[in-house]
Structure 1
């Protein structure tokens, strides 16, 4: 099992193409319930075993945005980390995440625009060998020049 990586800030001056960080989390029934309460998304595919069995998923699944929130956790806590401002995110949901799944969310630096403090990040979530989410984020990275 992988451990979550240290939290904090990596300023744009210290970022390099290919640098990556990750977090992993087992998705629980409690996580799904709490996310439903926060988001007000009580779609029965997330909440009702009987209903979900009769869908294309053949069982309950976690909210896609719950999985995507793990990407946000990596960006806000590790890469670039504290002080980062989200500017945009695109996501493609490729497979469901089910209660009990261990999700590995990984973010890596794709492009750096030092003059504008913009960083493009490749984002991916996987359950085992299955990629469940893929995307790209654009962020405003913290800088030592603006401390």
Structure 2
């Protein structure tokens, strides 16, 4: 399940501080399996329930970067959207995400540098009231002006 704003592009000329967009996704067994296959990260904390029971998480957890990829989805599809170039991402993983969790990933504009077409975005993911990831991204936003 994916719940989000319409996809597309918000050009830097139309952005304002505080503008935000989000995506909501329920993490599935298939998501974890596909992410492991694509990333080649088959760490048993993600793949093996018996192994994961003996970890500090007491059960399987989704890959942290799978959760972070939802931030990328918001940036690439909604804010700023199509044509955005990722430049930098800083993340702090706060709590695990488990199969079946409903993750809400949100980005909001915290700074705009029109001269360089740079936009700083506050990023966070939450499961219910629990923030599971937070950070900041720097992107080059699309513009209606030709370079």
Q: Which TM bucket (shorter chain)? A: over 0.9
Matches of 1:3 and 1:134, distance apart in 2:
20
Deviations 1:45-65 (A, max 9, x none): 000000000000000000000
After TM superposition, list the pairs within 5 Å mapping 1:17-32 onto structure 2: 17-32=17-32
Runs of 4+ in 1 over 3 A off after TM superposition: none
1:132 alignment partner in structure 2: 132
**Structure 1: tracts of 5 or more residues without a match:** none
Matches of 2:65 and 2:24, distance apart in 1:
15
Deviations 1:108-146 (A, max 9, x none): 000000000000000000000000000000000000002
Matches of 1:52 and 1:88, distance apart in 2:
32
After TM superposition, list the pairs within 5 Å mapping 1:30-69 onto structure 2: 30-69=30-69
CA contact (8 A) 2:10 2:79 kept: yes
Note the aligned Cα RMSD (angstroms): 1.3
After TM superposition, list the pairs within 5 Å mapping 1:2-17 onto structure 2: 3-17=3-17
SS at match of 1:95: coil
Matches of 1:3 and 1:34, distance apart in 2:
20
Structure 2 length-normalised TM: 0.98
Matches of 1:130 and 1:52, distance apart in 2:
21
2:84 alignment partner in structure 1: 84
Structure 1 length-normalised TM: 0.98
Deviations 1:21-72 (A, max 9, x none): 0001000000000000000000000000000000000000000000000000
SS at match of 2:145: helix
Matches of 2:113 and 2:22, distance apart in 1:
22
**Structure 2: tracts of 5 or more residues without a match:** none
Matches of 1:36 and 1:4, distance apart in 2:
25
